[in-house]
Amino acid sequence: MVYERIRNLREDKDLSQEKLCEYLNIKQRTYSDYERGKLDIPTTLLIALADFHQTSIDYLLGRTDQKTPYPPRAKKRS
């Protein structure tokens, strides 16, 4: 599910893998392997993808069908 969703989100924005890889600072071959399900996506990259696509990690992982990201966490006062 995650692989299909990251590909669909990228294609919805008419982005090539190369352009997205420039933003993520990773090699295109590695990203291609993520989209094809050959490699598990590291947590830090999931966070970057969720931020880039303005969605939640739960959406990327298929835990929800709601694309809307969670509201930002309130900062604690000291």
Secondary structure (3-state) at 60: helix
Computed from CA positions of residues 21, 22, 25, 26, in that sequence, does the dihedral angle turn out positive or negative? positive
Tokens of 34: 């993520």
The rounded distance, in Å, linking the Cα atoms of 51 and 29 is 22
Which strand (E) or helix (H) includes residue 59? helix 57-61
- 57 falls in which pLDDT band (50, 70, 90)? very high
CATH homologous superfamily of domain 2-61? Answer: lambda repressor-like DNA-binding domains (1.10.260.40)
Per-residue confidence (pLDDT) for residue 76, from 0 to 100: 73
Mind listing the pLDDT tens digit for each residue in 11-49? Answer: 999 999 999 999 999 999 999 999 999 999 999 999 999
What are the residue ranges spanned by the domains of the chain? 2-61
